[in-house]
A and B are shown apart, each in its own frame.
Chain A
Amino acid sequence: MSIGVKVMRRPEREVSYIRATLKGMMLTFKHMLQPRFTMEYPEVRSTEEWRIATRWRGTHRMMTDAQGRSKCVACGLCPQICPANCIKLVPGEDEAGNRYPLIYEIDEFRCVFCGYCQEVCPEEAIHVGVHYENAEYSRDRFVYDLERLSAQTHPVSTLWDPADPRGE
């Protein structure tokens, strides 16, 4: 025999099968009467027990400044670091020489939600958010443009803090 076969010691003569069967049946019966632990998803969202981790990385969100303009300076770091290549950025410059994104699109289908874009962003503009319900009826609706990213209101995810590695 070329592979090692582990032979278990089975207490064949010592055990009682009838007793084991009855015990098993009592156990399943007891479980039948126990409370259920299932959280029923769409209903449970509004209750207190439904909590998502603050470090959950979901749908992106673009932060805006006090004037309602996007904080993005089109530095190009996020498309550079994005491992899924899902960020499309075309930079532009206004008369004062301030860079801003002409086109900023994130394909949520391609995104792997690694959160690198948030980590790399020097302006704290692009964030991944604590949000996951983004079903749509067509595939092209999953390409979020700048306007839509800025319009998101969900809380953004917090980055991993080495001082508090487990998020407590």
Chain B
Amino acid sequence: MTPEMKGFLLLAVIKLLVIFVVLLVGVALLTLMERKLAGWMQNRPGPNRVGPSGILQPVADGLKNFIKEETQPAGANGMLFILAPALSFIPAMMLIAVIPLAAPLHLDFDWNLPLIGRTAYHGLMTVSIADLPMGFLFILAFSSIGVYGIALAGWSSNSKYSLLGGLRASAQMISYEVAMGLSLIPVLLLTGNVTFSEVIAKQQAGIWFIGPLFISFFVFLISGFAETNRLPFDMPEAESELVAGYHSEYSSMKFSMFMIGEYAHVVTIAAMVATLFFGGWDIPFTTWDEGGGALRSIATFLSFFLKMFFWIFFVMWIRWTLPRFRYDQLMTLGWKVLLPLALAYIMVTAGAIQGLEAVGVTSTRPVALALTGLNVGLGWLLFYVLDRGRVMRGVSRRPALAQPRTEGVG
């Protein structure tokens, strides 16, 4: 094996270890953050007994889940019952692998390490586990695998609540996957590439895609909520209707794996929103961050982390603000609003880019600015239409009555 190969492998292993350990610890802390935020938004202190201001609460929860009894309902399909948590946990953890966390770091070393021998690396190292050429297609593909975990969990539990939760989850996630995938096509149109590094480079050259692709962002964010099965789209869990949905019958660490999967998904969605629409690790109003260097990598990582953290906070904020949708409203919103909206927006964006090309505007920044202008108009139009109450009315049309009245014999 050449020293360069060894260097590459060594770095890959280090990145794997660091990123997954940080992700797992971060996810544990997110459960605490969720409960703290829930408390604060309800004028409560939240968990504050275990450790200083409750910081060790996730450790206590983890310990509890490890020593708890594992239960399996009678008549459950044993193999699938065990497979399901793994199927929802592993894909969720894998998603973070392709997201660039900081500016590429320039490394240049040639060491003689014990045991592995001469190890060398020259050049830029991407600060993600793998800067796959597939980019966000990888995330779309792997987040869909998570549906299997949830659907199988529901099916194998031999419980009506779990089954209904699993069914809802599969219907919901497949529906919103369509809108989510389509909402990313304008990003592809504007970038011409699906890799995250290219998307970030394009945003650095132009402006963040939140401007030029606002509707995409809007659709992506809503689909993201549905994909992560969080309020206001937590149909699969819906504790008031389905006990706990697909994980009703799970206990101990198997249950914990569903939770870790959910929070890892939240992290991924937040990271994707930050990367695709908020410039990733780009620090705004400066070009200082575009080179290598350890200091720049740290600064850009902080920038990325702040953006991601805001969106994680946003997801939790929404959870403790909005009530749950009704199931038919959810489906209506997915198929009748977001899907046509995403499709129409692809047309509009493609048309706009083509039109700009026709009048000779091809360089990145003017195109981005022109699209931003277009999106301000489109966004206003969208919200105008939404505000007329055509989204959440649901399927049945109730007659508008002047006074409450009683129907039937009474």
* Interface residues, chain A, with chain B CB atoms under 8 Å away: 1-10, 12-19, 21, 24-25, 27-29, 31-38, 40
B50 adjacent to chain A (CB < 8 Å) = no
User: Which chain A positions have C-beta within 8 A of B405?
Assistant: 6-7
User: Which chain A positions have C-beta within 8 A of B393?
Assistant: 12
Evaluate whether A6 and B404 lie within 8 angstroms (CB atoms) in the complex, with A28-B41, A38-B44 already known. Answer: yes
Complex CA–CA separation, A2 to B44 (angstroms): 44
Evaluate whether A31 and B389 lie within 8 angstroms (CB atoms) in the complex, with A9-B400, A13-B400 already known. Answer: no
Complex CA–CA separation, A55 to B124 (angstroms): 75
Partner of A7, one of B42, B44, B322, B398: B398
Complex CA–CA separation, A165 to B42 (angstroms): 34
Q: Report whether A31 and B398 are in contact in the complex, using a CB–CB cutoff of 8 Å.
A: no
Q: Report whether A19 and B387 are in contact in the complex, using a CB–CB cutoff of 8 Å.
A: yes
Q: Report whether B43 and A37 are in contact in the complex, using a CB–CB cutoff of 8 Å.
A: yes
Q: Report whether B43 and A4 are in contact in the complex, using a CB–CB cutoff of 8 Å.
A: no
User: Which chain B positions have C-beta within 8 A of A5?
Assistant: 406-408
Complex CA–CA separation, A144 to B214 (angstroms): 71
Number of A-B contacts (CB under 8 A): 86
* Interface residues, chain B, with chain A CB atoms under 8 Å away: 37, 39-45, 48, 317-318, 320-322, 383, 386-389, 391-393, 398, 400-410
Q: Of all chain B residues, which has the CB nearest A10?
A: B398
Complex CA–CA separation, A15 to B389 (angstroms): 7
Q: Of all chain B residues, which has the CB nearest A35?
A: B43
Q: Report whether A9 and B404 are in contact in the complex, using a CB–CB cutoff of 8 Å.
A: yes
Complex CA–CA separation, A36 to B46 (angstroms): 10
User: Which chain B positions have C-beta within 8 A of A31?
Assistant: 40-43
A to B CB contacts below 8 Å, 25 in the list? A1-B407, A1-B408, A3-B410, A4-B409, A6-B404, A6-B406, A7-B401, A9-B401, A10-B400, A13-B400, A15-B389, A17-B386, A17-B387, A17-B392, A21-B322, A24-B321, A25-B321, A28-B317, A31-B40, A31-B42, A32-B37, A33-B40, A36-B44, A36-B45, A40-B45
Complex CA–CA separation, A13 to B391 (angstroms): 11
Going nearest first, the 4 A-B pairs with the smallest beta carbon separation are A1-B408, A4-B410, A32-B40, A16-B387
Taking the nearest CB of chain A, how far is it from the CB of B155, in angstroms? 35
User: Which chain A positions have C-beta within 8 A of B403?
Assistant: 9
Q: Report whether A12 and B407 are in contact in the complex, using a CB–CB cutoff of 8 Å.
A: no
Complex CA–CA separation, A86 to B407 (angstroms): 53
Q: Report whether A18 and B404 are in contact in the complex, using a CB–CB cutoff of 8 Å.
A: no
Partner of A1, one of B45, B48, B409: B409
Q: Report whether A25 and B387 are in contact in the complex, using a CB–CB cutoff of 8 Å.
A: no
User: Which chain B positions have C-beta within 8 A of A1?
Assistant: 407-409
